[in-house]
Amino acid sequence: MLVRVAPGQVRFVLPGLASTSSGVALGADILFRFATLERVVSFLRMVTAEANLDDVAASVQILLVRQGQGAREVLVRLTQISPHGIDVPIRAARAAQGQGFTGTGRHFAALRDAQSPLGYDVDHLGEGAHELILHAHQGDLAFKTEGELSLRELVMRLELVRDLRGPEGLTPNSLPPLCFLTVRQGLGETMISYFHRAEVTAFASLCEVDGQTGETSRFYFFRLHDPPKRLFRLLHTTPGVSMFLPVASGVAVAAGYRHPIHLDACGGLFGGDRLLLLQPAPLPARLLEPAPRAVAVERLISVARPVESPPVAESVRSAALDMSVGLTLVRGSIGKEHPMATLIPWEQLPWARKVFFALPASLLAHHRVVPLVSGLLVISSDGLTALPFGTLYKSAARGVLIPLGYSLRPGVSAGLLEERLGTGSGRVVLFPEDGPPVGIEPGRLAPLEASLLARIEVGAAEAHIQIGEPGATEAPRELRYRDGDLMPLWGAR
């Protein structure tokens, strides 16, 4: 039978009950009685949401008990650290429809409430050899312990909750700074080489766990630091690859899920040299003990062993294999290219003459000219700087001139071009934009200064071209209105 504790009362009938500094009667342990395990989970969830479990209780014990022939009940026994720390679990137990008791050993009295602010004592201890006796308002309740469930085991048995955002606010645009992967054994090598190629800071190790049926399963464990965002889909959608996000020291939860209990408040449970990987149902939780010692993937890259005696390829007759393709000009982009020659149309010759006239001797000495059908080709050995008109040519190889903005295909080396086109002995081969290449023998190239004095004879008539005017060959621009006949503004807003 419960009796109210009087103010100033220091002696109690219930063993282990003592008065705190505020006069409240409290035992060393706090016991909470719940009808079902689900309520215990709710209780733990609320407690961990508000406080760290290590700050609340020195130890947590979950007992499966039965009262006589009654239903099975669950008792949660907390060893209190300080009288102030028990307020959170008391509030949580009331919210989870549990009853609170305090005491030590076998006997527990109801916790204080509004009727008795200083707590309860008992008038006499009951008789009997029961394992636990709870002195409640409705009478004394005797319980027999049927089993015990450790908190870690409870955590491992709970089913994960689907959370699209993930416990770390995970979205396709963000990956956490640290994540774990379990990869099936067959994929391991591929993932190692992929992470190495993608320059991801990754560490890997091969783990072995004993399955429920006794067989040993192997898988690769990866630890990724600052994974790039582009890996999100790969890590989420590749079969055989599971991603875990660490939520507390030694615990990681599958990405896209969260544990019903706030595991970050249960740090003490999972300490030590082990790692618990919680997977969504129906997969069981994986406890890796000791924790995997991962090494950097760079060290795990398999290096191909050099072949000691490479097989000799069978040679085929050269006549049977014809791989030759024609050398063609293809258009590319115009970048920083240095012109080496220019083909000045005959229409622009008077203009060029004026420029030649003004050129200093040092520049004149570097230029050679040759009259062609399409115009006067001026080649400079030092790079063309003084003549920014005409069709500009650059040097693809020694003696091989191609227009600016073009390149030769196939892209063979300059040495081969020089050898095949025979330009080593001073011959010049010009590739015009339209038309076949033109070969110019070295004897036809005359120094510009000598040609200037000798007045180059040209066949075409001298056309009057004003400075800044395009050549006479330019096509006219004919205006043609397309849309709308008489109402061109129709539809304009």
Partner 1 sequence: MSARRLLEDFLLPLVRGGTVSVFRPIDRPAMERLLGATFVAAVVGDLSVPSSAADALAVIPSPRMPRVARESELTLQLGRHAYLQTLPVNVEAPLLDVDTWRLAIVLHNLIALSATPEVVHEEGSRPMRRRASLIALTAKMASLHAPDTLASALERHSLHQGLLKLRRTEHQVTFWAGQRSYVGRPVPAHMRPFARLRRIRVATTTREWPALEPAPGTRPILDALETASPVASALALGTGGYTVSWPHMLSVMRFAPLGRLLAARILDRGLSSVGESLAIALVEYAQQPISRSEELRAATQFLAHCLWLSELSPGPQHLPGPVLSALLHTAFSHAPALVTPPDLNRNRGNALVAGTLRGMTDLLARLETVGQVYEVRHPGVMLQLLQRVSPRNPEPIHVR
| Residues of this chain that bind partner 1 (CB under 8 A) | 331, 333-334, 348, 351, 355, 385, 388-392, 405, 466-471, 474-486, 488-493
Comparing CB distances to partner 1, the nearer of 355 and 364 is 355
Helix (H) or strand (E) holding 220: strand 216-225
Helix (H) or strand (E) holding 55: helix 53-56
Q: How far is CA 398 from CA 332, 339, 368, 375, 403, in A?
A: 20, 13, 15, 22, 15
Comparing CB distances to partner 1, the nearer of 272 and 383 is 383
Q: Which 8-state DSSP code applies to residue 425?
A: T
Comparing CB distances to partner 1, the nearer of 127 and 483 is 483
Comparing CB distances to partner 1, the nearer of 11 and 493 is 493
Comparing CB distances to partner 1, the nearer of 83 and 383 is 383
Contacts with 118 (C-beta within 8 Å, 6 or more apart), sequence order:
4, 5, 6, 7, 9, 23, 24, 25, 112
Going by C-alpha positions, the residue among 47, 50, 77 that lies closest to residue 62 is 77
Going by C-alpha positions, the residue among 400, 407, 402 that lies closest to residue 391 is 402
Q: Least distance to partner 1 from the beta carbon of 471, Å?
A: 7
Q: Which residues, listed in sequence order, are joined to residue 34 by a DSSP beta bridge? A: 74
Q: Least distance to partner 1 from the beta carbon of 367, Å?
A: 16
Q: Least distance to partner 1 from the beta carbon of 97, Å?
A: 58
Comparing CB distances to partner 1, the nearer of 162 and 477 is 477
Q: Least distance to partner 1 from the beta carbon of 437, Å?
A: 20
Q: Least distance to partner 1 from the beta carbon of 484, Å?
A: 6
Q: Least distance to partner 1 from the beta carbon of 391, Å?
A: 8
Comparing CB distances to partner 1, the nearer of 242 and 348 is 348
The amino acid at residue 416 is L
Going by C-alpha positions, the residue among 363, 367, 158 that lies closest to residue 263 is 158
Going by C-alpha positions, the residue among 104, 109, 105, 106 that lies closest to residue 127 is 106
Q: Least distance to partner 1 from the beta carbon of 452, Å?
A: 18
Q: How far is CA 455 from CA 190, 355, 361, 375, 451, in A?
A: 73, 15, 17, 15, 6
The answer to whether the Cα torsion of 435, 437, 443, 447 is positive or negative is positive
Q: Least distance to partner 1 from the beta carbon of 295, Å?
A: 46
Q: Least distance to partner 1 from the beta carbon of 469, Å?
A: 7
Comparing CB distances to partner 1, the nearer of 360 and 468 is 468
Neighbours of 490 (CB within 10 A): 9
DSSP helix/strand/coil, 226 = coil
Comparing CB distances to partner 1, the nearer of 39 and 394 is 394
User: Distance between CA 413 and CA 435 in Å, rounded?
Assistant: 23
